[in-house]
Chains A and B, each alone.
Chain A
């Protein structure tokens, strides 16, 4: 619900439907009937944020508690932001139209490093001091954050009161309950944060002190006031019993993923060595086909969506994918609902799956071989072979598909120019496979899109010690692929190396970067993930002003013995396992996935999931 002042601006901006709320299934409560007001902020535009599954889960979960009212806040696009500043309108939540500064909790989900500037900017626009130290001791405006980037919270530690480490469904509610108790006791913020630190999965950065060595690396990390030395992540142990919404807010304007989304499992069995999600969400925990089927059906009925996407890190690795698709197709045909399966692995695309998803709608196919040469794929532990990819493409072409998108990364550890050229060669091999497929679509040409992004080393992966290629090297590799492509059937795209560099700085940064972030906020930086707004040059000026060398974080090889900025946080996967995996990468050695053989990563300590499944070869 927006006020008259906002309404006057709406006809002057692009897509005003993003700023008004009022969607089907939006939750409206009375302020007088609730104890705790939570502003769930997504530090990007409405279209991006509304596509995010985690937000949908937590929004519904929080609102299922009678005393909490959770509302949504998104970053206004630059045209709206400018008008809001000009007319003195603070950033507001869509449901009530109330400014951010009126909320008890202001929660951010941190999905990518380049959204950090938006987080600070949103606080500023909402009339909330972005530095935690300037927000006073009152129990109001508690800024919390979660999501994958919370695994290294240090670059934004000065701005956030509490980080939620791991999955939020339980820990968030425990903190909100404690807040309620503390407020009734008249306890101040500092004491509240201290008590929160006793809850497993909560990290209160103000309770820790960091010291540095002369060479700039971290010397020590010291907890104060009885805060724990190590913060352990939280996970949901039984996915069938975990809360899942039967209802989504259905946007009035088109969003990025405009469909129902059904989570089928968490975690990934594969252990690709560049992939942070593959390690921090361990162990794999599946929902049963019956649970998924019932949840899918409820979602489609309550939203009116005619498409449901089965979401996970690698959908074809769902152990009962075929029985699941059979159950779903019992009703989806009749109800005119189509099923989409994103995140299909090259080796998971079988005739059976293809025929099931083809029954209703045919979309483009996307695969991620990630690297061009077999040696490189072994280094990153992708475990996809050349002939498997060709077999899969042949299956797809025989099934009538004519467009294939292939995703790659450049700048991977040990990579040479020959490895890079093999990306182009692989694209060519797919084109050749098309013309070698006898029952391909008649009279149609093939389109192969080759996309190359730049590798960003991330915390909690075996490559967390690796330097990122510098920008000139990445440019050289991009040009090398381009020059190696000869066919007109292949379209080559690559991701801007400048943004990948900044991402690498913040992904593995420490607390000293907070100063740069604060300066960026004061200078009005925002939307760094968008080409319209991002300027590496301007960021480099800030680093210079703060006397910080960004290459220290992005391009330096770290020693295995170095105390890393995130070493006080525990995601279940041990540092010794990551070291072992890194060394195997140097020897081009692969590691089998969790269902073939346990590699002893450490995630078995949670006592659930794939670690305790009966393995096929042992039955």
Chain B
């Protein structure tokens, strides 16, 4: 038995499918590829795959990963990559296959690039609004929890950020808490911005990298 981490990009049409649909698409590709993926041994055996950190619908992912177990060691990483790509829709491309170096539970941060704009308004204005919001001492947002709505301050979850003015939008590079403890969806930043300014923003979000608590890139 061999644990394998499969690295892929999720973009194009596949950007618009949910995590559950991604899971289904991956399982079908694994089945079609005939790779010796370990199957669960329950009542309905199915190929077993886990995703260290699910990606929200609508985000582009350039460094996404999925873990599977292979039943024999006869396949090279290159072979796995090629076989899977032959079976996947064009919006999902495997670009690397590695061993699983870190455990999924080690993920603590994720970096995002967010392109933010308002229709027919200069990007300089959006930059200014973003900088003002992010320099506040507290950024409070309404979050749905099991006990109803509660107010959370996400400022402590922002590890690092920078705002750049581009021709048609503001570019926000930001590192946020991620993983099983304090996961922050970058859409919350936009929600906070909309609440503050009353404007409606268009946003294009890409998740770049995952990190552990020591800010080492997740491998």
B18 at the interface (CB under 8 A from A): yes
B20 at the interface (CB under 8 A from A): yes
Distance A253 CA – B45 CA, assembled complex (angstroms): 22
Stretch from A163-171, A297-305, A346-354, A448-456 forming part of the interface with B: A297-305
Which listed residue, B13, B32, B44, touches A301 by the CB 8 Å rule? B32
Distance A250 CA – B31 CA, assembled complex (angstroms): 13
Nearest CB of A to B84, in Å: 11
| Given A22-B13, A22-B14, A252-B14, A336 and B31 contact (CB-CB distance below 8 Å) | yes
Number of B interface residues at 8 Å Cβ cutoff, please give it: 29
A16 at the interface (CB under 8 A from B): yes
Contacts of A2 in B (CB 8 A): 13
Nearest CB of A to B207, in Å: 15
B105 at the interface (CB under 8 A from A): no
| Given A10-B16, A21-B13, A336-B31, A252 and B25 contact (CB-CB distance below 8 Å) | yes
The residue in chain A whose Cβ has the minimal distance to the Cβ of B12 is A22
Which listed residue, A8, A253, A302, A304, touches B202 by the CB 8 Å rule? A8
Q: Which residues A486-531 have CB closer than 8 A to chain B?
A: none
A344 at the interface (CB under 8 A from B): no
Q: Which residues B139-188 have CB closer than 8 A to chain A?
A: none
Q: Which residues A4-49 have CB closer than 8 A to chain B?
A: 8, 10-11, 15-17, 19-24
Docked-complex contact B87 and A24, CB < 8 angstroms:
yes
Q: Which residues A293-330 have CB closer than 8 A to chain B?
A: 301-306
Contacts of A8 in B (CB 8 A): 202
Q: Which residues A371-421 have CB closer than 8 A to chain B?
A: none
Docked-complex contact A253 and B31, CB < 8 angstroms:
no
Docked-complex contact A22 and B32, CB < 8 angstroms:
no
Distance A361 CA – B57 CA, assembled complex (angstroms): 31
Interface residues of A toward B: which range?
Answer: 20 to 34
Docked-complex contact B89 and A252, CB < 8 angstroms:
yes
| Given A8-B202, A253-B21, A17 and B28 contact (CB-CB distance below 8 Å) | no
Docked-complex contact A16 and B16, CB < 8 angstroms:
yes
Docked-complex contact B16 and A336, CB < 8 angstroms:
no
A254 at the interface (CB under 8 A from B): yes
Docked-complex contact A304 and B14, CB < 8 angstroms:
no
B88 at the interface (CB under 8 A from A): yes
Docked-complex contact B58 and A11, CB < 8 angstroms:
yes
Distance A23 CA – B88 CA, assembled complex (angstroms): 9
B39 at the interface (CB under 8 A from A): yes
Distance A303 CA – B202 CA, assembled complex (angstroms): 36
B29 at the interface (CB under 8 A from A): yes
Docked-complex contact B89 and A304, CB < 8 angstroms:
no
Distance A301 CA – B31 CA, assembled complex (angstroms): 9
Which listed residue, A11, A17, A253, A336, touches B39 by the CB 8 Å rule? A336
Contacts of B44 in A (CB 8 A): 361
Docked-complex contact A22 and B90, CB < 8 angstroms:
yes
Distance A336 CA – B35 CA, assembled complex (angstroms): 13
Contacts of A17 in B (CB 8 A): 13, 16-18, 21
Main secondary structure of the interface of A (DSSP, over half): loop
Distance A16 CA – B56 CA, assembled complex (angstroms): 13
Nearest CB of B to A467, in Å: 46
Which listed residue, B17, B33, B43, B87, touches A252 by the CB 8 Å rule? B17
Docked-complex contact B45 and A336, CB < 8 angstroms:
yes
Docked-complex contact B29 and A304, CB < 8 angstroms:
yes
Digitize A46-83: 1 where CB-to-B-CB distance is under 8 Å, 0 elsewhere. 00000000000000000000000000000000000000
Distance A23 CA – B12 CA, assembled complex (angstroms): 11
Nearest CB of A to B1, in Å: 18
Docked-complex contact A304 and B87, CB < 8 angstroms:
yes
Nearest CB of B to A94, in Å: 9
Docked-complex contact A22 and B89, CB < 8 angstroms:
yes
The residue in chain A whose Cβ has the minimal distance to the Cβ of B58 is A11
Docked-complex contact B89 and A23, CB < 8 angstroms:
yes
Contacts of B90 in A (CB 8 A): 22
Nearest CB of B to A515, in Å: 40
Nearest CB of A to B39, in Å: 7
Nearest CB of B to A249, in Å: 10
Contacts of B88 in A (CB 8 A): 24
Distance A301 CA – B25 CA, assembled complex (angstroms): 15
The residue in chain B whose Cβ has the minimal distance to the Cβ of A28 is B90
Nearest CB of A to B24, in Å: 6
**Additional pairs, 12, CB under 8 Å, beyond known A2-B13, A21-B13, A24-B29:** A8-B202, A17-B18, A23-B89, A24-B88, A252-B14, A252-B25, A253-B17, A304-B87, A305-B28, A305-B31, A336-B31, A336-B45
3 interchain residue pairs of minimum CB distance:
A22-B13, A304-B32, A304-B28
Which residues of B does A touch, CB under 8 Å? 12-14, 16-18, 20-21, 24-25, 28-33, 39, 43-46, 57-58, 87-91, 202
Q: List 9 A-B contacts (CB under 8 A).
A: A22-B89, A22-B91, A253-B21, A254-B24, A302-B32, A303-B32, A304-B30, A304-B32, A304-B87
